[in-house]
Amino acid sequence: MTQRFALVTGTSRGLGEAQAQYLIEQGYVVFGVSRSGSTLSHENYIDIEADLREEGAVESMYETIRQMTEELHLVVLNAGILTLDSIFETSTLDFRNNLDTNVLAPFHILKHLADFIVENETHIITISSLAGKKAFPNMAAYSASKFALEGLVQTCREEWNDLGIRFSTLYPGAIDTGLWHDIELGDDQHYMMSIDDFLFVFDTLIKSPPNVQFHSLVFGHRDGVIL
């Protein structure tokens, strides 16, 4: 079987780290990217430190990948940040940072992906959020970024229609990761999905037949209240 290569963003912790670990177990060679770097250690894991908000950093990241392969069978647009504040309290800096991390960074990755696309094969999985489907109070910056992300992905799907690329987008509700580390959650934490819950769905995507794409997969905790 030919070696399969995956690019996963945001692998220093949380969902990105778990997805990278899972993909290694599935036999992928994984390029994992974050600003602070991952503690993952495996012969099939290549850690790349880059701030994906910077186009030059993304171009350098692809140069590193090119030293090993020009084929990416899987791209997981996962890296993201969340600012929780009312509109009155959201600073312009925070609003811009959500847009830069959650939309501009995926734009950079997609814009420079061309050389690595494997026609009729590459699967691009976007980790959006329920807040990218439905507005919630105190999430203006995050929601605006995730709604915009959908516009970006849909446009790519249209423009690259003849390449046989799959685009799947996940819209999970709240998951217990460090994304919430600064936020007082109280009982709401009981109603979050676990990373394993998320991986169950991710596993379904990875093992789906090559002609199937999940345009919009919304899921969450049965009793979830915060998202």
Contact set with ligand NAP (CB under 6 A): 9-16, 33-36, 51-53, 78-82, 101, 105, 127, 129, 172, 174-175, 177-179
Between 13 and 157, CB nearer to ligand NAP: 13
Place of tokens 């600073």: 91
Return d(Cα 217, Cα 14) in angstroms, integer: 20
Token pair listed for 116: 């690595």
* Least distance (Å) between residue 143 CB and ligand NAP: 11
Between 122 and 128, CB nearer to ligand NAP: 128
Between 74 and 175, CB nearer to ligand NAP: 175
Between 79 and 99, CB nearer to ligand NAP: 79
Return d(Cα 58, Cα 180) in angstroms, integer: 26
* Least distance (Å) between residue 41 CB and ligand NAP: 16
- Rounded to a whole number of angstroms, the distance between the first and last alpha carbons of the chain is 41
How would you classify residue 105: left for phi > 0, otherwise alpha for psi between -120 and 50, otherwise beta? alpha
* Least distance (Å) between residue 12 CB and ligand NAP: 4
Between 33 and 72, CB nearer to ligand NAP: 33
* Nearest Cα to Cα of residue 73 among 119, 138, 18: 119
* Least distance (Å) between residue 180 CB and ligand NAP: 6
* Least distance (Å) between residue 1 CB and ligand NAP: 29
Contact 64, 48 (CB under 8 A): yes
Cβ–Cβ contacts within 10 Å for residue 67, how many? 7
* Nearest Cα to Cα of residue 130 among 198, 70, 44: 198
